[in-house]
Amino acid sequence: MTNLVEIRGLRKDYGSLAAVDGVDLDVTAGETLAVVGESGSGKTTLTRLLLRLAEPTAGTVRFDGADLFALPAARLRKVRREMQVVLQDPYSSMNPRMRVTDIVAEPLVTHDRSVRGRRGRAKVRARVGELLDAVGLPPDVQDRYPHEFSGGQRQRVSIARALALRPRLVVLDEPTSALDVSVQAQVLDLLTELQARLGLTYVFVSHNLAVVQQIADRVAVMRAGQMVELADAATLFSAPGHDYTRRLLDAVPNPDPRLARRLRAGS
């Protein structure tokens, strides 16, 4: 098993606040690593550093062996193709004036000269069609605008865009938190299927432990900038090692009324 990402001594200060405070973490190729924590725990800052969307105060992030913060611009551009992100809110992460084709094609056009211009157009449409098909959208949605889609469909468009460059790593930052539960379940199934088919590595950021349990191989628990626990999903949920993890698990509402009531009566 090889490490696709290696994070060492990573720290990010905002003024006197250490948003990320000395994190060491490896992401194994092909796994789903979940990063969980409450608001202010530093989970989003961690992923921003990992994507080099922010500069660290100290520490390193290696992607496939290359030190992200020391890479020259041209090589960084190449590495960036291999790491993509899907954000929580599909409404605000798309330009409302762009058609779906152009939204999904934008990374292609940005990174691949051969698809620019009139002749590239057919090639782009074909690739976008493939991508939309992969995320379960019919090809005839290409000429539509984001507002014509439901939240779940929009998140599928975001996923198609993230896959356009055939990345190895996809950071999923609360990808289903804004969706209804029935839609959430479908999007989680889609993510699982795509991972198996394309051999993707996921870093899955979430505050929802029940969702994390469905999708993660390993779980990192963040609190106040620090990683307080890192464990196999099975171990973490059955025998949490850190007191904070236990408290987090205890706080999750249980959709079983008898169990929920028993716990409440006992507390």
Partner 1 sequence: MTSLLEIRDLHVEFRLGTGIVNAVEGVGFAVDAGETLAVVGESGSGKTATALSVLRLNPEPPCVYPAGEVLLDGRDLFRLSEKDLRKIRGNDVAMVFQDPMTSLNPLKRVGAQVAEVLRRHQNAPRGQAREGAVAALREAGIPDPERRADQYPHQLSGGLRQRVMIAMALVGRPRVLIADEPTTALDVTVQAQILELLVDLQRRHGMAIVLITHDLGVVAEVADRVVVMRRGRVVETGDVTAVFEAPQQDYTRELLRATPKLERA
Residues 147 to 206: which contact partner 1 by CB under 8 A?
151, 180-182, 184-185
CB of 120 to partner 1, least distance (A): 37
**Binding partner 1 by CB under 8 A: which of 14, 193, 238, 243?**
238
Long-range contacts for 87-93 (Cβ within 8 Å, ≥24 apart)? 87/158, 87/173, 87/174, 87/175, 88/173, 88/174, 88/175, 88/177, 88/178, 89/178, 90/146, 90/151, 90/154, 90/155, 90/157, 90/158, 90/178, 91/146, 91/151, 91/154, 91/178, 93/158
Three-state DSSP class for residue 96 = coil
Residue 39 contacts partner 1 per CB under 8 A: yes
Residue 208 contacts partner 1 per CB under 8 A: yes
**Binding partner 1 by CB under 8 A: which of 52, 125, 127, 207?**
207
The residue among 51 and 179 lying less far from partner 1, judged by its C-beta, is: 179
Residue 17 contacts partner 1 per CB under 8 A: no
The residue among 129 and 152 lying less far from partner 1, judged by its C-beta, is: 152
Q: Are 42 and 66 in contact (CB under 8 A)?
A: no
The residue among 193 and 250 lying less far from partner 1, judged by its C-beta, is: 250
Interaction site with partner 1 (CB under 8 A): 38-39, 151, 180-182, 184-185, 207-211, 213-214, 237-238, 247-260, 264
